[in-house]
Amino acid sequence: MLTKKELKEFCAEARENYLPHISIDCVVFGFHEGIMKVLVLKVQNEDEWYLPGGFMLKNEPIEKAADRILKERTTLDKIFLQQFQVFGDPERSKEHFDMYKDMLPAKENWFSNRFLTIGYYALVDFFETNPNPDQFAESCQWRGLDDLPDLKLDHALILKTALDTLRLQLNYQPIGYNLMPKEFTMPELQKLYEAILDKKLDRRNFQRRMLGFGILTRSDEPRKGGAHKAPYLYSFDLKNYEAALKEGFKGGW
Amino acid sequence: MLTKKELKEFCAEARENYLPHISIDCVVFGFHEGIMKVLVLKVQNEDEWYLPGGFMLKNEPIEKAADRILKERTTLDKIFLQQFQVFGDPERSKEHFDMYKDMLPAKENWFSNRFLTIGYYALVDFFETNPNPDQFAESCQWRGLDDLPDLKLDHALILKTALDTLRLQLNYQPIGYNLMPKEFTMPELQKLYEAILDKKLDRRNFQRRMLGFGILTRSDEPRKGGAHKAPYLYSFDLKNYEAALKEGFKGGW
DNA sequence: AATCATAGTGTATTAATGACACAATTGTAA
DNA sequence: TTACAATTGTGTCATTAATACACTATGATT
């Protein structure tokens, strides 16, 4: 929570630069050790958590704003972003309103606004990401889907909706490509699908199907060093991948 | 286009009642005589066309606003609505801005705002709908997808995006249920699918598959009166339909 | 050298899809 | 009234995709 002075400065700057009533919240997915993880921020000195988000400059395209916000949180540049829903319950930002209502009169208090928030999900390479807190937060960290803190406002709903969208879009968006590192093994890719779909898949059928799509290139060198039999390394053949995505991976009518 | 007096009144009312910077635009689909149709409005005395839309009351949930706007345009009550995207290019409402900029100073001119618009698509029963123009329009009418006028602003993009979304969601949303009248024949339903997917389907395979979903009830009485062999009438078994939709109609992983 | 965990591969069964042809019904034109 | 055209209903076969399942290979550990 901000001090009165910080709040006043923030509000003055916000009113000058940002569109009122509108915010952006992002669900940033990363994949690590077989678990889907999400970036969350922790409020200073409180056990309160929220999703990375921010506001839109008065003359900024929405996607640019999401990009800018996420660059600040992750240090990453060309992030894969997908807008998935606007959340606009008139009561949704009440917590923020209550928190700051006594510190500044409504007229100059940015948080006395009702906010619609535009939800984006982002897919990033876990290993390339350096989480960075924003000015309200004490930390910014990865948390597994099975280990999420309670989130403030309607951020739990936003996260759930993002996950549902991810599941639905698995066959239409380059989800594997954006979440996996450049090279990966087939079992690793399978774990990603299992994490997103929340179910076990058959190893042999998964491999056959994936290879059948013709979107993977097998490297000459297997991964070394680990225990057990050395698995092959694969990478996405981006050209074939994008062509296949246009059709969707399932077939359809 | 409004007169100066009308504009002034509208702006005063708008500023008092609506959230600034935010609008809603709707792509209303109906199905008639084998053709997908969309509701469009024609500007008074101009050959200019746009989609039904409006603004959000300061304390109104988004979906309620879309509902209210569409009730005014269609006289329909519980319309099936699906939010599909926010359009936020900073230049997107420039045409409106230019049209009215000389009539009122920016400060009191509602249209000097940049607007983000929340796109909804709606599915309605063509035969139940009574198109109604809004205060800017001279008429509100159905137009087939193959017979669309040029649309103002970015409304052509909004329409195209809605159609793409419809295609993608065909297996996850009750699209047939909302677009067809209560009773319909199998060939009619097939024409709907063909119109949405923009491709021919095999009559026999379509029927086998549709019946296989177990979501249709065949009426005892065939449709009478038409030329040729009398087709059977079907209706949706809503309970089974909704259960099947939860899974999606394709199978998937 | 035996063991354990993991990776790679193949095959048989079943289900879904796609392609296709013929019979039935009804209005219209000869 | 009869032949025809247009449309609907239904069945079958071939192909393809999905599922279920078992064995072999490799490399580290003991």
User: Does B251 score more than 80 pLDDT?
Assistant: no
Tokens of B165: 């979304």
Q: Does B246 touch chain A (CB under 8 A)?
A: no
Give the ipTM: 0.93
User: Does B252 score more than 70 pLDDT?
Assistant: no
Tokens of B144: 């087939």
B200 touches strand C (CB under 7 A): no
Tokens of B18: 């609506």
Q: Does A201 touch chain B (CB under 8 A)?
A: yes
Compute the radius of gyration of chain B from its Cα atoms.
Answer: 21
Tokens of B52: 């039904």
C-beta of residue B154 within 8 angstroms of C-beta of residue B92 = yes
CA distances from A149 to A39, A40, A121 (A): 11, 9, 18
Residue A253 confidence (pLDDT): 62
Choice between A136 and A38, residue whose per-residue pLDDT is larger? A38
Q: Report the share of chain A in percent with pLDDT over 70.
A: 98
C-beta of residue A149 within 8 angstroms of C-beta of residue A143 = yes
Choice between B252 and A73, residue whose per-residue pLDDT is larger? A73
A250 touches strand C (CB under 7 A): no
Q: Taking the mean position of all CA atoms in its chain, how far away is CA A210?
A: 25
User: Does A252 score more than 70 pLDDT?
Assistant: no
What is the spatial distance, in angstroms and rounded to an integer, between the CA atom of B106 and the C1' atom of C2?
Answer: 85
Q: DSSP readout, A145-164?
A: GGGPPPBSTTHHHHHHHHHH
What's the mean pLDDT when you consider all of chain A?
Answer: 92
What is the spatial distance, in angstroms and rounded to an integer, between the CA atom of A234 and the C1' atom of C18?
Answer: 34
Boundaries of CATH 3.90.79.10 in chain B? 4-169
Residue corresponding to tokens 């059977």: B232
C-beta of residue B175 within 8 angstroms of C-beta of residue B196 = yes
What's the mean pLDDT when you consider all of chain B?
Answer: 93
Of the candidates A108, A13, A4, the one whose C-alpha atom is nearest the C-alpha of residue A54 is: A13
Can you tell me the distance from the alpha carbon of B38 to that of A183, in angstroms, rounded to the nearest whole number? Answer: 47
Assign 3-state DSSP to chain A and report helix, strand, coil percentages, each to 5.
Answer: 40, 25, 35
Tell me the three state secondary structure of residue A81.
strand
Contact A62 B171 (CB under 8 A): no
Residue A228 confidence (pLDDT): 82
Q: Report the share of chain A in percent with pLDDT over 90.
A: 75
Tell me the three state secondary structure of residue B26.
strand
Cβ contacts of residue B116 below 8 Å, gap of 6+? A19, A22, A62, B21, B22, B23, B86, B87, B88
B149-171 confidence digits (pLDDT tens): 999 999 999 999 999 999 989 88
Q: Which helix (H) or strand (E) holds B209?
A: helix B203-213
C-beta of residue A37 within 8 angstroms of C-beta of residue A148 = no
Boundaries of CATH 1.10.10.10 in chain A? 175-247
What residues of chain B, 130 to 169, have a C-beta less than 8 Å from chain A? 168
**A118 CB neighbour count, 10 Å cutoff:** 26
Cβ contacts of residue A101 below 8 Å, gap of 6+? A109, A111, A112
Residue B128 confidence (pLDDT): 95
Closest residue, CA to C1' of D11 = B204
Contact B62 A86 (CB under 8 A): yes
User: Does B25 score more than 70 pLDDT?
Assistant: yes
B189-238 confidence digits (pLDDT tens): 999 999 999 999 999 999 999 999 999 999 987 777 777 889 999 999 99
A97-112 confidence digits (pLDDT tens): 888 888 889 889 999 9
Using CB atoms, pick whichever of B83, B89, B251 lies closest to residue A86. B83
Fold that domain B183-247 belongs to in CATH: Arc Repressor Mutant, subunit A (1.10.10)
* CATH number assigned to the domain covering A175-247: 1.10.10.10
CA distances from A42 to A2, A7, A138, B80 (A): 13, 18, 6, 39
Residue A244 confidence (pLDDT): 85
C-beta of residue B223 within 8 angstroms of C-beta of residue B230 = yes
Can you tell me the distance from the alpha carbon of A17 to that of A55, in angstroms, rounded to the nearest whole number? Answer: 9
Residue B253 confidence (pLDDT): 62
Cβ contacts of residue A159 below 8 Å, gap of 6+? A27, A38, A51, A148, A151
Secondary structure tally for chain B: helices H, strands E: 8, 9
- Domain B4-169 = CATH 3.90.79.10: yes
